[in-house]
């Protein structure tokens, strides 16, 4: 969380930074700020609220500078306010700093500094770290770079920081541990950002900074060092990202655009991998490790949020066709639980951003115990992609709406491909069913396109249900996690309280909630559970609940019983979540829009959760 942007070079820094912050707003939008440095003249402007609020508030100010840093905040230490907004200034006013992450031992450092007479203007851990750096520099009469190195050896937690020094307007200094930092290399200029989106229109040459690295950046020089002051050769990569991928392309909201992109993203995810006619799946990361994967004694899926739901669906699929026991763990619980990991266990880490702090630490813990880590990640070059032993990218393209949609279906596609490949290798799936599933998978992009034609109908349903205060989402088998995902989408986008439950579990408690006010949403595409689901729907109707069901085309039985339906094309039930989740994404999105909310930036959330 939190987005950072910095620039040094011949351009005006302010417009570069503001444009970049707007692209990174998905990472946090509690406050925004910018520090501009020109010929020893250091100015800081910051404001609670969105980047546009900051922009508005500084019209008419002197914004001329060729070096600057900017920040959009997701609050951790200290409420969202002007004074807690970044950049922070050091006690002397000489240094300005932006920070993404959490300094865990900030309280101890603050006590030490307070005893020395320091006063703090904000409640943030960032201001503490900044003054700690300045204090070291003053006491040791050393360079800023050296004092930063000393400070970081004492710091626990996660950070990307970027510093401006009023006395050195030709230099930016940055450091990273646990939060992402990309440096764009232009001609006589450098761009820094939390991801590549603020950089792509200026350059495609980038360096992904690694943990425990420091960057000393001038207009035409980039020096990377480790904390031991040894130089590291920057690994320059070419960005494979187009500007159009991060623009709204005619849609009012990124979330809507991303939902509608799913025929393409699923196609892209399958392209070059699936050959349904030949019966082949080509995935280098899987192929090169097929022994480890197919002989796994156990697979542990580690993820958070929506990615965790993808893991839950995969659990059904892997167990069904690969006959390998699967556990699905919240990364945040797994990392602290001293989990038992045996040789032969495989960890599949699932993450859109590849930067989720809990997932990163869970992987590191499992790695320490000798587990093999396979990453299913969307963001190319992200931390999880880099620390995994092997992996497969989901190729969904940049996902900017805070709520995950197209990345989720792409995760499912990758997980299904891996499961099919393993099952084929292990011969736990008949050749006939294998070929049939490949051909069903091949047809999914077209079927998604077809179901999206019913978006108008779903929009009307959203209007109808926008006044409800609660909702219950139910499903069985691999559509139970779809119910969880539908409920999560509704909660985060429309702020309506929603719970997901296995449909059969309803009678053990949640049924007490059912009355004529409560919509109960069933994820009920055709499956072996069809009759059981019909009984569950009867139970809801008998208690006057409203039933809204996602069903397969031609399912006249549920269509007659339900108050409202959303239909999806028929497919094999093993992969049916790829279709059944999409009406629920649309329903949540339209409902949020109907209530007038900013569906791309739901309150209190941020896209990339880089704090624990």
Q: What is the closest distance, in whole angstroms, from the C-beta atom of residue 583 to ligand F6R in the complex? A: 16
Q: Which is nearer to ligand F6R, 270 or 377 (CB)?
A: 377
> Residue 15 and residue 2: Cα distance in Å, rounded?
19
Stretch of residues binding ligand F6R (CB under 6 A), selected from 350-358, 445-453, 546-554, 557-565: 350-358
Q: Environment class of residue 52 by beta-carbon count within 10 Å: exposed (0-12), middle (13-18) or buried (19+)?
A: middle
β-bridge mates for residue 35, sequence order: 44, 69
328 φ, ψ (degrees, to nearest 5): -120, 120
Residues 481-500 that bind ligand F6R (CB under 6 A): 488, 492
Q: What is the closest distance, in whole angstroms, from the C-beta atom of residue 609 to ligand F6R in the complex? A: 5
Tokens matching residue 255:
């979330």
> Residue 461 and residue 272: Cα distance in Å, rounded?
38
Active site residues: 2, 607
CA 546 to chain centre: 33
Q: What is the closest distance, in whole angstroms, from the C-beta atom of residue 492 to ligand F6R in the complex? A: 6
> Residue 351 and residue 376: Cα distance in Å, rounded?
6
Stretch of residues binding ligand F6R (CB under 6 A), selected from 154-162, 284-292, 302-310, 513-521: 302-310
Residue 265, interface with ligand F6R (CB under 6 A)? no
Q: What is the closest distance, in whole angstroms, from the C-beta atom of residue 301 to ligand F6R in the complex? A: 12
> Residue 240 and residue 499: Cα distance in Å, rounded?
39
Q: Which is nearer to ligand F6R, 48 or 306 (CB)?
A: 306
**CA distances, 198 to each of 19, 36, 466, 608 (Å):** 7, 17, 36, 16
Residue 351, interface with ligand F6R (CB under 6 A)? yes
Stretch of residues binding ligand F6R (CB under 6 A), selected from 51-59, 147-155, 353-361, 467-475: 353-361
Q: Which is nearer to ligand F6R, 171 or 404 (CB)?
A: 404
Q: Which is nearer to ligand F6R, 474 or 609 (CB)?
A: 609
Stretch of residues binding ligand F6R (CB under 6 A), selected from 54-62, 71-79, 351-359, 472-480: 351-359
Tokens matching residue 327:
């556990």
Torsion of Cα atoms, 363 then 366 then 368 then 370, to 10°: -120
Residue 585, interface with ligand F6R (CB under 6 A)? no
Question: Among 423, 392, 422, 385, which residue's Cα sits nearest to residue 410?
Answer: 392
- β-pair type (221-226, 231-232): antiparallel
Residue 610, interface with ligand F6R (CB under 6 A)? no
Q: How many CB atoms lie within 10 A of CB 281?
A: 23
Residue 306, interface with ligand F6R (CB under 6 A)? yes
Q: Which is nearer to ligand F6R, 162 or 410 (CB)?
A: 410
Q: Which is nearer to ligand F6R, 113 or 599 (CB)?
A: 599
Q: What is the closest distance, in whole angstroms, from the C-beta atom of residue 283 to ligand F6R in the complex? A: 20
Q: Which is nearer to ligand F6R, 96 or 403 (CB)?
A: 403
Q: Which is nearer to ligand F6R, 163 or 490 (CB)?
A: 490
Residues 381-410 that bind ligand F6R (CB under 6 A): 403-404
Q: What is the closest distance, in whole angstroms, from the C-beta atom of residue 547 to ligand F6R in the complex? A: 25
Q: Which is nearer to ligand F6R, 47 or 395 (CB)?
A: 395
Q: What is the closest distance, in whole angstroms, from the C-beta atom of residue 119 to ligand F6R in the complex? A: 36
Pick one of 353, 494, 552, 580: the residue that binds ligand F6R (CB under 6 A).
353
- β-pair type (564-568, 546-552): parallel
> Residue 187 and residue 193: Cα distance in Å, rounded?
17
Q: What is the closest distance, in whole angstroms, from the C-beta atom of residue 409 to ligand F6R in the complex? A: 12
Residue 307, interface with ligand F6R (CB under 6 A)? yes
Pick one of 48, 126, 294, 356: the residue that binds ligand F6R (CB under 6 A).
356
Pick one of 87, 305, 500, 592: the residue that binds ligand F6R (CB under 6 A).
305
Integer Rg of the chain from CA = 25
Q: What is the closest distance, in whole angstroms, from the C-beta atom of residue 234 to ligand F6R in the complex? A: 26
> Residue 576 and residue 141: Cα distance in Å, rounded?
65
Residue 571, interface with ligand F6R (CB under 6 A)? no
Pick one of 51, 207, 255, 304: the residue that binds ligand F6R (CB under 6 A).
304
Residue 609, interface with ligand F6R (CB under 6 A)? yes
Pinpoint the alpha helices (H) of 355-405: 357-368, 383-387
Tokens matching residue 89:
């200034």
Total binding residues toward ligand F6R, as defined by CB under 6 A: 15
Give, as one character, the DSSP assignment of residue 178. Answer: B
Stretch of residues binding ligand F6R (CB under 6 A), selected from 175-183, 301-309, 542-550, 557-565: 301-309
Task: State which residue has the least CB distance to ligand F6R.
Answer: 305
Residue 51, interface with ligand F6R (CB under 6 A)? no
Q: What is the closest distance, in whole angstroms, from the C-beta atom of residue 607 to ligand F6R in the complex? A: 7
> Residue 179 and residue 602: Cα distance in Å, rounded?
22
> Residue 505 and residue 113: Cα distance in Å, rounded?
54
- Whether the Cβ atoms of residue 525 and residue 573 lie closer than 8 Å to each other: yes
- β-pair type (390-393, 372-377): parallel
Question: Among 101, 93, 95, 156, which residue's Cα sits nearest to residue 124?
Answer: 101
Stretch of residues binding ligand F6R (CB under 6 A), selected from 209-217, 224-232, 256-264, 348-356: 348-356
> Residue 560 and residue 558: Cα distance in Å, rounded?
5
> Residue 180 and residue 158: Cα distance in Å, rounded?
10
Stretch of residues binding ligand F6R (CB under 6 A), selected from 234-242, 299-307, 318-326, 434-442: 299-307
> Residue 573 and residue 373: Cα distance in Å, rounded?
29
**Could you list the residues that contact ligand F6R (CB under 6 A)?**
304-307, 351-353, 356, 359, 403-404, 488, 492, 608-609
């Amino acid at each position: 969380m939190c987005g950072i942007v910095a620039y040094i070079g011949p351009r005006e820094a302010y417009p570069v930074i503001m444009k970049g912050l707007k692209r990174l707003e998905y990472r946090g939008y509690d406050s925004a700020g910018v520090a501009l440095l020109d010929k020893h003249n250091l100015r800081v402007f910051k404001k609670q609220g969105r980047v546009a609020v900051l922009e508005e508030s500084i019209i008419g100010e002197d914004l001329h500078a060729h070096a600057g840093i900017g920040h959009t905040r997701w609050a951790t230490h200290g409420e969202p306010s002007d004074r807690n907004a970044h950049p922070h200034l050091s006690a002397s006013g000489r240094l300005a700093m932006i920070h993404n992450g959490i300094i865990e031992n900030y309280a101890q450092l603050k006590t030490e500094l307070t005893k020395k007479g320091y006063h703090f203007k904000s409640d943030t851990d960032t201001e503490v770290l900044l003054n700690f750096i300045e204090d070291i520099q003053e006491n040791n009469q050393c360079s800023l770079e050296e004092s930063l190195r000393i400070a970081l050896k004492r710091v626990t937690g996660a950070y990307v920081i970027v510093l401006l020094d009023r006395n050195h307007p030709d230099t930016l200094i940055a450091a990273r541990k646990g939060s992402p930092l990309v440096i764009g290399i232009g001609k006589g200029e450098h761009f820094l950002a939390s991801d590549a989106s603020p950089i792509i229109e200026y350059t495609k040459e980038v360096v992904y900074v690694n943990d425990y690295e420091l960057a000393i950046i001038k207009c035409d020089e980039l020096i990377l060092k480790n904390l031991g002051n040894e130089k590291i050769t920057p690994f320059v990569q070419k960005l494979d990202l187009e500007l159009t991928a991060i623009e709204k392309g005619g849609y009012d909201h990124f979330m809507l655009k991303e939902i509608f992109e799913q025929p393409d993203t699923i196609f892209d995810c399958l392209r070059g991998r699936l050959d349904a006619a030949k019966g082949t799946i080509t995935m280098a990361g899987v192929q090169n490790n097929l022994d480890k994967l197919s002989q796994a004694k156990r697979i542990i899926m580690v993820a958070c949020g929506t990615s965790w739901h993808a893991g839950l669906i995969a659990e059904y699929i892997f167990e069904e066709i690969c006959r390998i026991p699967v556990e699905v763990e919240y990364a945040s619980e797994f990392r602290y639980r001293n989990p038992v990991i045996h040789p032969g266990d495989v960890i599949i880490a699932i993450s859109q951003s590849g930067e989720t702090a809990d997932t990163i630490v869970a992987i590191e813990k499992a790695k320490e115990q000798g587990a093999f880590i396979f990453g299913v990640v969307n963001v190319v070059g992200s931390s999880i992609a880099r620390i995994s032993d092997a992996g497969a990218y989901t190729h969904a393209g940049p996902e900017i709406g805070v709520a995950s949609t197209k990345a989720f279906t792409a995760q499912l596609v990758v997980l299904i491909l891996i499961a099919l490949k393993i099952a084929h290798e292990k011969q736990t799936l008949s050749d006939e069913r294998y070929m049939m599933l490949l051909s069903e998978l091949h047809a999914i992009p077209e079927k998604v396109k077809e179901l999206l034609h019913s978006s108008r109908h779903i929009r009307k349903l959203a209007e109808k249900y926008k006044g409800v205060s609660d909702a219950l989402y139910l499903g069985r088998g691999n559509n139970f996690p779809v119910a969880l995902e539908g409920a999560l989408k509704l909660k985060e986008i429309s702020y309506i309280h929603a719970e997901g439950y296995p449909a059969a579990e309803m009678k053990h408690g949640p049924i007490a909630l059912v009355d004529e006010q409560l919509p109960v949403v069933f994820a009920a595409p055709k499956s072996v559970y069809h009759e059981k689901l019909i009984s569950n729907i009867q139970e809801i109707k008998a208690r006057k609940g409203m039933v809204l069901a996602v069903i397969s085309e031609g399912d006249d039985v549920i269509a007659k019983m339900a108050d409202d339906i959303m239909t999806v094309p028929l497919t094999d039930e093993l992969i049916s979540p790829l279709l059944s989740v999409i009406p629920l994404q649309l329903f949540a999105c339209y409902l949020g829009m109907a209530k007038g909310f900013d569906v791309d930036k739901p309150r209190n959330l941020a896209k990339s959760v880089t704090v624990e």
